[in-house]
């Protein structure tokens, strides 16, 4: 990587970062809601039902077609994707490529390394848990639900995960990385900011928040760490997509916010074990991607 380019790129005035962040979040929340509203009307879904956290409403939501229910929610990330790109170009006056990497071109190889590495980690823990706690898994195969969901999984799901990486690891982390903060502080802050919006997920409702924050925050920390080391979001994009794809297609929980098309279903998320596993996965993924050394990519 041309690290000198990253270091020599002038930092934008603080007002540009603040104004850009406000515009991104406003666009994401307002236009995202309107996109979801339009999709809900198209599929004739009750929007209040989709966003309810009541047990009886969630039971009704899980009876919906997984592909259309997922599409209704995931279209809300299209505005985040577009707004982050535009804000980076308009407010920061930078090349959009620098949102992703300071190299000469984007590396799909690194994205596949991120995808493959985190898939290995997830499958390692997933298969181990399946063998140890087989009674907790229910076979959920339904071709009529699974195959239509693949279309959403390979179209809207990459938009969702990439949009989140562009905002959290691209926009926010480049703001945090001012050359003065240490990697541990940047990664910890990045993990915390990443965990915050996930606290609104229905599966988190009714739980003590510190365990979900640790679980989501550990993943955010991991992605922020490799992004800092590599000075690109290429690894993080691949890993994030692997996480959401495998969760959607292989194993989901009974208290998931959306109806499941996965092969297996488990009971409600046990947040204590989930938090422990998330923390353990961090060093393994960093080691697999060779981003554990003190030397930053150059």
Q: What angle do CA 251, 257, 263 make, to 5 degrees?
A: 20
Alpha helices (H) along 63-209:
66-74, 78-90, 97-100, 108-132, 143-153, 156-165, 173-176, 183-198
Number of CB atoms found within 10 A of residue 58's CB: 21
Q: What is the arithmetic mean of pLDDT over 83-89?
A: 97
Q: Is the model more confident about 9 or about 183? A: 183
**What is the Cα 193 distance to its own chain's centre?**
12
Higher-pLDDT residue of 269 and 280 is 280
Tokens of 217: 């925050």
Which of 111, 107, 114, 117 lies closest to 2, judged by CA? 107
What is the helix (H) or strand (E) element at residue 138, kind and residue range?
strand 138-139
Confidence of residue 12 (pLDDT cuts 50, 70, 90): confident
β 138-139/251-253 pair status: unpaired
Give CA–CA dist 238/165, Å, rounded: 10
Structure tokens at 207: 């739980």
Question: Which residues are CB-contacts of 166 (< 8 A; sequence separation ≥ 6)?
Answer: 80, 81, 84, 85, 99, 100, 233
Tokens of 198: 């996930």
**Mean pLDDT across 222-244:** 96
CB-side neighbour CA atoms (13 Å) of 20: 24
The pLDDT-based confidence of 1 (bands split at 50, 70, 90) is: very low
Query: Does residue 116 surpass a pLDDT of 70?
Result: yes
Predicted TM-score (pTM) of the model is 0.92
pLDDT value for 2 = 47
């Amino acid at each position: 990587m041309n690290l000198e380019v990253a270091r020599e790129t002038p930092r934008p005035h603080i007002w540009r970062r603040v104004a850009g962040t406000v515009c991104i979040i406003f666009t994401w929340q307002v236009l995202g809601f309107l996109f979801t509203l339009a999709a809900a009307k198209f599929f004739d879904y009750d929007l209040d039902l989709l966003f309810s956290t009541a047990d009886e409403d969630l039971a009704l939501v899980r009876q919906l077609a997984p592909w259309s229910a997922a599409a209704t929610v995931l279209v809300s990330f299209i505005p985040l994707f577009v707004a982050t790109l535009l804000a980076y170009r308009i407010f920061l006056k930078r090349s959009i490529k620098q949102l992703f990497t300071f190299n000469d071109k984007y590396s799909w190889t690194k994205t596949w390394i991120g995808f493959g590495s985190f898939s290995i980690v997830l499958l390692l823990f997933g298969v181990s848990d399946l063998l140890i706690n087989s009674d907790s898994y229910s076979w959920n195969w339904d071709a009529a639900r699974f195959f239509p969901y693949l279309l959403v999984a390979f179209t809207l799901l990459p938009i969702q995960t990439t949009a989140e990486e562009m905002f959290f690891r691209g926009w926010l982390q480049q703001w945090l990385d001012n050359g003065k903060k240490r990697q541990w502080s940047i990664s910890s802050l990045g993990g915390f900011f990443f965990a915050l919006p996930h606290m609104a997920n229905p599966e988190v409702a009714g739980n003590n928040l510190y365990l979900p924050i640790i679980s989501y925050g550990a993943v955010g920390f991991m992605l922020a760490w490799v992004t800092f080391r590599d000075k690109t979001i290429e690894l993080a994009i691949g890993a994030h997509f692997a996480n959401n794809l495998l969760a959607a297609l292989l194993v989901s929980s009974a208290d998931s916010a959306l109806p499941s098309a996965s092969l297996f279903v488990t009971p409600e998320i046990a947040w204590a074990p989930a938090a422990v596993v998330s923390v353990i996965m961090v060093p393994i993924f960093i080691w697999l991607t060779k981003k554990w050394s003190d030397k930053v990519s150059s």
